[in-house]
Every structure is written in C-alpha cells, then in structure tokens.
Amino acid sequence: MDIGFIGLGGMGRAMALNALKAGHSVRVWNRSRDATKPLAEQGATAVNTPAEAFAGEAVFSMLADDAALRAVLIDGGVLKHAQRGLIHVNMATVSIALCDELVALHEQHGVVYVAAPVLGRPDVAAAGKLNIVAAGSDEAIDRVQPVFDVIGQKTWRVGSKPQHANVFKLAANFMLASAIETTSEAASLMSGHGIDPHAFLDVITNTLFPGPVYQGYGRMIADSRYEPALFKAKLGLKDVRLAMAAAEAVNVALPMANVVRDNLIEVLAQGDGEKDFAVLGKIAARRAGRGDWSV
C-alpha cells in the first residue's frame, strides 16, 4: 500500500518500520525531524508537513495525546486539504470527546476515519505482535488490513463506530493500571511481614494470575526497577483520566480509578513521571514506610 505515517515515537517508529520492511511505500512525518532519519535510511520518504503524509491510500497516526492530535490535524487544517476517500487510521489512545469530534470532521471533509488503538508496548510493536482494536466501516478496515497484518498479530474488530475502539482501549488501560496498583499493594503487604515479594509473585504469576501483565510488571515491582520506561507513568495517568471522563459521560463509577489517579499524581509530584508505570510500586513501598522491597 501507499501510506503515510505521522508520529514516530517508540510505538509509531516500530510500526512504520514494520510496514516499510513488508514492502509498503511509507511517507513519514514527525514534529521532531530527527525521528524520520532512521526510517528514511530504510527507504521511507520523509516529508516536511503532515499534509504531505495525508496522501496515497491511507495515513496512520500515532501521536502522544489529544493535544498533539488536535494541533497537527485540526489546528493545522490538514483535513481540509486531504484527498476525499482517503482513510485515516488513528492508532493513538485519545478521549471519547475528541474521537466524536474527529468522526464529525472527517465526515465533513470526505475522509474515512478508523480508530485502531493498540495493546502492547514498544518491544511488542517492534516484534510486530501488537493486538489492534479497530472500529469503523468494515470496508475501510479491509482496505488497511494488509498493514495491520504486519504491525500486529491480530486485529480485533469491535464495531462500526470508531468511538467504540477508544472505549475498549481506555477500559483495557484502566484494568492494566488497576492490576499494577493491586500488585504493588500486595508486594507491600508481603514485605511488611518479612516475606520476599519475589517469592510471592513467583507463586501468584504462575498460578492465579499468569500472563504478561502480572508477570512482567510483577518482576519490575519486586525488583524496584522502573527504568527504562516502556510505558511512562505520566501517560498512564493520562489514560486513567480519559477512562474516568468516559465513565462519567455515561454515569458509570470507577472507584478504583480514583485511587490509581491519586497515586499517579503523587508519582508525578515526586518527579517520577518519566519512569515506567510500575513505579506505582514505589508509592506503595513509601506508604508502607519502606524505600524498596528488601526485607
């Protein structure tokens, strides 16, 4: 396919590179020009403006947050000049309110909009093993499926309304945040009783709670290892807040989200926002009067 790719952070860069390696023609743009150089060396075409990326058959975007997406796509007027019938696949985690706005704007300008946030961290993206949660018209998703097939291991179609994919992703990230929080608290309980959290988490993640979340984050929490960050705490806070806003819009209470939000605010107040989401373990340890999990 002839595609554009906007947003070349850790996730976007890996996805664009996998599309390029699979033989797709890729134009790349990033607010920091330096990020395009490694991809250009692999055969991508680096363009000077987002509008230049909005060409060909489809454009994929992976921008950090609502503010970045608004600045590039809406304030920049990109959609006004996009070719009618072009498919825009937004793979970022954004608010439901912004998604509603984007759906309306794309329809107004004749651009097809697909929401396709992903489950997985940069290492998973690099391996082409992301899970893609896609919503939009089946025809549009069919057209971009060849790209999805090389950046992810499975595409989960969750409805014709793009907003539904964003709700799915926010709910998933809320569950992830809750799992990290409860793992941190459980490790604190073990440590308080003189039990090595490593031993506890080894049992738990091989019995009641197997899987990458509890095993991966459990090891990081037990090791007090929060760098390098594969998913930054400040982005986790952003997603928890978006989940809370989505819940409030339909009068759904998320009590656990309040706890995680407050703890993540404390993480940022302590200057640890750039560290991995697992740094919630540090908050639990501090609250228990321990600097780490040594017993």
Question: DSSP assignment of 6-28, as one string?
Answer: E--SHHHHHHHHHHHHTT-EEEE
CA distances from 185 to 59, 72, 201, 222, 283 (A): 42, 40, 12, 11, 9
Q: Where are the beta strands (DSSP E) in 62-161?
A: 87-90, 112-115, 118-119, 130-134, 152-157
Q: Which two tokens stand for residue 75?
A: 């304030």
Element (H, E) at 178: helix 162-192
80, 154, 161, 169: the active-site residue:
169
Q: Is 195 left (phi over 0), alpha (psi -120 to 50) or beta?
A: beta
Contact at 8 Å (CB) between 14 and 38? Answer: no
**DSSP E strand stretches across 14-129:** 25-29, 45-46, 58-61, 87-90, 112-115, 118-119
| Alpha carbon distances (Å) from 152 to 122, 125, 135, 143 | 12, 7, 15, 15
Give the Cβ contact number of residue 172 at 10 Å.
17
Question: What is the CB neighbour count within 10 angstroms for residue 138?
Answer: 10
Is 169 among the residues known to form the active site?
yes
Q: Is 253 helix (H, G, I), strand (E, B) or coil?
A: coil
Element of type H or E holding 3: strand 2-6
Q: Beta partners for 135?
A: 115
Q: Which residues are catalytic?
A: 169
